[in-house]
DNA sequence: CTACCATCCTGGTTGC
DNA sequence: TGCAACCAGGATGGTA
């Protein structure tokens, strides 16, 4: 589930619990993750102090007073929780536990096990396959309409699918793509390569806008998502089309239309929600 | 090279 | 109520 706003929220939540603290103990609890934990994880992390936390796309990066960077991806159902209980008992899907020098546990939990945890070196990070071909950060200055236009040039796929492609722009997932396309008034079925620059101007603006608002709201909590302190995000209450099939969208309602306009279709196996009145091309 | 599809998992929801 | 089928926010690797 977690897309950029959720990952950013988790990262920010982890800062007070990890920054300038030392990892005292590393406990792996599942040897059979899809991508097994690095063998040398304990050795690389125990005794190291956390210098900073950053985010790239949907990856949380933990930087240490060493060359190692701990990379965490939450997949579909992953969480990272701060647990301060003295008598904390690991739960079923608590796969990795980092205990800090103040006794706080940082718990990585992921029922579906689509997530991953690995190490990269600070210097070699950009050549790692996860980051090598990754597109611009949508909230950064190098994500703008001309760049998006260039990235979409010649693409015959739909704009919905193109925006989910992390090489075009990173950090977006199904929810925020649907929301941004709605706000930009662009059909999810529009051919990616054939959208005009002015419309891409609107789209890039709406992408940045919806992401920023979602971060402010602490992300969206559907089923699994929690902030690092266990709190729910609340941006799900602001969805305009996502998971609102059969409703009248906000824009139509404001114009006085009362016929259900939000439709659900399936594009390359995933749900797309859009307004059939306002997103015609 | 692009595009499409299946697949990795568990758990919650839906429908009979 | 019980159970089976279906569905889910992501990424990747294989095939066409």
What are the residue numbers of the active site of A?
A: 2-3, 58, 270
Joined together, the tokens standing for residue A119 give: 């190490």
Q: Where are the beta strands (DSSP E) in A45-175?
A: 50-56, 59-64, 68-73, 79-83, 94-100, 105-109, 116-121
The residues of the protein lying within 7 Å (CB) of strand C read A 1-3, 6, 57-58, 73, 75-77, 112, 114, 129-130, 164, 166, 172-175, 220-225, 236, 270-271
Query: Into which CATH architecture does domain A145-238 fall?
Result: Orthogonal Bundle (1.10)
Helix or strand run (H / E) with residue A275: strand A270-275
pLDDT tens track for A37-92: 999 999 999 999 999 999 999 999 999 999 999 999 999 999 999 999 889 999 98
Q: Which CATH class is domain A4-132?
A: alpha beta
| Domains A4-132 and A145-238 are alike in CATH topology | no
Arithmetic mean of pLDDT, A87-105: 95
Delimit the domains of chain A by residue range.
4-132, 145-238
Q: What is the pTM of this model?
A: 0.96
pLDDT tens track for A184-218: 999 999 999 999 999 999 999 999 999 999 999 99
Asked if residues A264 and A272 have their Cβ atoms less than 8 Å apart, the reply is yes
Nearest amino-acid residue to B5, taking CA and C1': A268
């Amino acid at each position: 589930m977690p897309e950029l706003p959720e990952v950013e929220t988790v990262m920010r939540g982890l800062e007070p619990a990890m920054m300038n603290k030392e990892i005292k103990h590393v406990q792996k609890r599942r040897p059979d993750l899809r991508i097994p934990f690095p063998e040398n994880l304990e050795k690389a992390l125990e005794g190291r102090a956390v210098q900073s936390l950053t985010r790239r796309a949907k990856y949380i990066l933990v930087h240490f007073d060493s060359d190692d960077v701990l990379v965490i991806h939450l997949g579909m159902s992953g969480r990272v929780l701060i647990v301060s209980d003295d008598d904390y008992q690991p739960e079923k899907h608590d796969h990795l536990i980092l205990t800090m020098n103040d006794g706080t546990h940082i718990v990585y939990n992921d029922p579906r096990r689509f997530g991953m945890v690995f190490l990269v070196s600070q210097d070699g990070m950009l050549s790692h396959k996860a980051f090598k071909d990754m597109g611009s950060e949508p909230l950064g200055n190098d994500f703008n309409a001309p760049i998006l236009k260039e990235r979409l040039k010649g693409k015959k796929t739909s704009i919905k699918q193109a925006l989910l492609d992390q090489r075009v722009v990173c950090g977006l997932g199904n929810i925020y793509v649907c929301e941004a396309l709605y706000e930009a008034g662009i059909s999810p079925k529009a051919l990616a390569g054939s959208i005009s620059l002015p419309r891409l101007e609107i789209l890039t603006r709406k992408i940045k806008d919806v992401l920023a608002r979602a971060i402010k709201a602490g992300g969206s909590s559907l089923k699994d998502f929690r902030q690092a302190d266990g709190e729910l995000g609340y941006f799900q209450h602001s969805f305009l089309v996502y998971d609102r099939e059969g409703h009248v969208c906000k824009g139509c309602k404001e114009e006085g239309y009362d016929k259900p306009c939000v439709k659900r279709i399936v594009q390359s196996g995933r749900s797309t929600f859009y307004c059939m009145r306002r997103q015609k091309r």
